[in-house]
């Protein structure tokens, strides 16, 4: 990738790392599906204003309604719902680590299912290492050595699979400006999540959430979604699905740091070991470091 894309990737990693912290705070007082609706609808409103200012509203053509609904389902509605459900009982750092499996699943979806990318040896090795890392992380809960529920961790893994499918599907929007693609899929996810939020908000009122929580909701919608998706779709168009999904390699570092600094979260030894194996798998999957080492003069 170009230097510009690496900078965008780094900024996006910090923003999305913070999103796990915002979500952990907000989901303590707002039902998960309601929180998803707030996140996507706030971001959608902000990006619609942006498109109006840029004179791009006409690019939201009716013929793209179904593709935007599908992308909104895969890239917002499903993964956000699964992550927020998981974060009702597990920490921001652990959720971000499990979400870091997105490049692993992207290779499997793009390379195996839809044949968009070539399965090279280092990618296969990276996938194997990544799966091994996840297995180690889950082993603590399965054996009773860790208290984090397995179902919540599986929710986060399900979100990663959905993101991988979205990254592959989103390639068809390359001809659109990235801000249009971002807005269209947020419109789709807002339409999907409105009835879900209404059906699951029984007994909950807007006044049940504190001002601090609402600040985190605003950060989720405006910073971690509206601004972040403008960056993400630009990366997707310029660098491809697998390169763009490498942002999840940077997300856990910022999420773990913020979770430790602000919420006092810590990982146990088994989870740290699994994360180390997963991190090694992601490095091998990327292949750049291996290629540079192989090209060094003897």
Q: What is the pLDDT of residues 83-134, one digit of tens each?
A: 999 999 999 999 999 998 988 898 888 777 766 666 778 788 889 999 999 9
Q: Give residue 115's pLDDT.
A: 64
d(CA 298, CA 293): 10
Q: Give residue 276's pLDDT.
A: 92
Residue 297, pLDDT > 60, answer no
Share of the chain above pLDDT 70, in %: 94
Report residue 268: phi and psi, to 5°.
-80, 175
**In total, how many domains does the chain have?**
1
Q: Give residue 295's pLDDT.
A: 61
pLDDT digits (tens, 9 = 90+) for 169-213: 888 887 888 889 889 999 999 999 999 999 999 889 999 999 999
Residues shown for the chain: 298
Report residue 148: phi and psi, to 5°.
-70, 125
Mean pLDDT of the residues in the chain = 89
Cite the DSSP H helix spans in the chain. 3-26, 32-54, 65-72, 78-86, 92-99, 102-107, 121-143, 150-169, 178-200, 211-218, 228-239, 241-245, 247-258, 269-286, 288-295
Band of pLDDT at residue 285, cut at 50, 70 and 90: confident
Q: Give residue 118's pLDDT.
A: 65
pLDDT digits (tens, 9 = 90+) for 38-77: 999 999 999 999 999 999 999 999 999 999 999 999 999 9
Q: Give residue 298's pLDDT.
A: 46
Alpha carbon separation from 24 to 28, 90, 112, 220, 254 (Å, rounded): 7, 9, 34, 11, 14
Please tell me the pTM assigned to this model.
Answer: 0.89
CB 41 within 8 A of CB 190: yes
d(CA 229, CA 64): 18
CB 231 within 8 A of CB 11: yes
Residue 8, pLDDT > 70, answer yes
Of 234, 219, 238, 215, the residue nearest 46 (C-alpha): 219
Range of the domain at 276: 3-295
């Amino acid at each position: 990738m170009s230097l510009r894309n690496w900078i965008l990737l780094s900024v996006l990693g910090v923003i999305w790392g913070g999103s796990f912290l915002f979500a952990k705070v907000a989901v303590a007082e707002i039902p998960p599906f309601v929180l998803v609706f707030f996140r996507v609808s706030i971001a959608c409103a902000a990006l619609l204003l942006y498109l109006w200012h840029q004179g791009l509203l006409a690019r939201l053509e009716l013929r793209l309604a179904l593709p935007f609904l599908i992308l909104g389902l895969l890239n917002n509605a499903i993964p956000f719902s699964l992550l927020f459900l998981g974060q009702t009982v597990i920490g921001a750092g652990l959720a971000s680590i499990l979400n870091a499996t997105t490049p692993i699943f992207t290779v499997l979806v793009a390379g195996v299912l839809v044949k968009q990318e070539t399965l090279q040896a280092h990618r296969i090795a990276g996938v194997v290492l990544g799966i091994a890392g996840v297995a180690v992380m889950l082993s603590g809960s399965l054996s009773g050595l860790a208290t984090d529920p397995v179902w919540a961790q599986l929710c986060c893994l399900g979100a990663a699979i959905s993101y991988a499918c979205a990254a592959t599907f989103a390639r068809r929007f390359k001809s659109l400006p990235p801000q249009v693609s971002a807005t269209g899929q947020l419109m789709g996810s807002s339409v999907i999540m409105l009835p879900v939020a209404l059906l699951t908000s029984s007994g909950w009122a807007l006044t049940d959430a504190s001002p601090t929580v609402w600040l985190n909701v605003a950060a989720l919608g405006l910073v971690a979604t509206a601004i972040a998706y403008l960056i993400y779709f630009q990366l997707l168009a310029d660098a491809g699905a697998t390169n763009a999904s490498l942002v999840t390699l940077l997300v856990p570092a910022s999420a773990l740091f913020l979770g430790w600094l602000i919420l006092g979260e810590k990982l146990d030894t088994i989870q740290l070991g699994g994360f180390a194996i997963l991190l090694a798998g992601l490095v091998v999957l990327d292949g750049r470091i291996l290629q540079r080492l192989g090209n060094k003069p003897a």
